[in-house]
Structure 1
Amino acid sequence: MAYAKQGLLGEFKGRLGNTVIYEVYGKTRIRLKPSVKPPPATGAKKQAQEDFKLVMSLMQATKAFVRIGFYDQAEGRSAFHEGLSFNLNSYRQAENKDIGAWLQLSNGQRAGAQNLAIQREGKKAIVSWGAPEPGKVAAGDDAVLLLALNTCNFDCNWVLSKYQRSQQQAEIILPPLKEDEECLVFVAFRKQLQVKKDIRNISASQVV
């Protein structure tokens, strides 16, 4: 039993069963702790938690790209959380759960590129591209965004402002890869000078 000389609680601080009593800025606070530890999630709830964990891990690994890639779509929240929400929905709707089939590091209506190709030379990859996608806005000085992702441990490298669309070729260092590991390279194109947010400022990312 806990006893306090000054009123019901007095100067007592501590725990009484599942009740925690403490002081913050001179005021006494009382907080109830759960008396029973909740059971582990099962079924649909467990699957939802696992989906979120996977997508969040990928967003954290690729956030340098994602913060640019979803900036123009983000309204009332950060570009990171816009990308997280978009990709969580994309993952849950995808029949093919391979990362390259559903992961988007940017989303917009600017032209991507046709005839994407990749050539690996040792620890680097050379990415090349052809004409812009037809029917969409593009410019020769569009910035090229590149990211190489190890799909096993999510290590990645990126190049975000070194190259322009008109060069039609760019290089990126690949993250360390073991013999049985796969690497995906993502590319997107972004307008060089953005006056205001506009979904035509950036293209949807493409896997090379």
Structure 2
Amino acid sequence: MLTKNNTISVYETQTFSLLGDKPMKVDDVVDISCSPTESNLAVLKGCVKKQPAKVAFVQIPGMVELRHTDPPDVYDLDCKMYWQSGQEGPRVRMAAREPSGHRFAMMHGGEGDQSVLPDVSFYTMQNLGKVSKLATLKDKQADALFWSPRGKYIVVAGLKGSFSGQFEFFDVDKLETMNKAEHLMATDIAWGPTGRYVATACTISQETEEGFERGFHWVNVVPPFNPPN
């Protein structure tokens, strides 16, 4: 329970006694959220003196901080935190926001061993205070998302494991796949500043008849579309 004087009170459900016999004082708390499966608590702290927000994960009892993160460029907080309902549910693997745009992409589901493929969903925040889902790409051989620096286009990329070297170019305006490309064992990808070219690189050690050598190979991928206006 979060009170107005910035104290957090945790009660034991069977006896309803206050855990630790006293509330915990935490400054600048905006929201708290309990894990549905473990004795952990997420604490969202607001901005202080132009410093960005902070999310801390603490273990109860004892309020031992397990880890914390500072969400970049978050200064004006009007938000809530939500835990996944259970460990069996799909997890968010990564998210990427469109540069100078109103959309973001989210990769979710799948398994860490790549036995189950993740999905990629696109959302828009064009309407103030509302997030709307645009589309979902199912079962992608991918583990990374790369927006064009000029927006509109995104590369759904596979850079690790069995996904390595798979690239899908997606037009988020038209919600359609523009092109697919493959660069075997690629480990890196970068957009050109015009948003028209993509470079992929293989920067791993490869075995040869003479032993091991360092591989470094660039390939320009030119999708069949014109750069954004």
- TM normalised by structure 1 equals 0.23
Say which structure is richer in strand. 2
The structure whose RCO (Cα within 8 Å, separation 6+) is larger is 1
Q: If you compute each CA radius of gyration, which structure gives the higher value, 1 or 2?
A: 1
Say which structure is richer in helix. 1
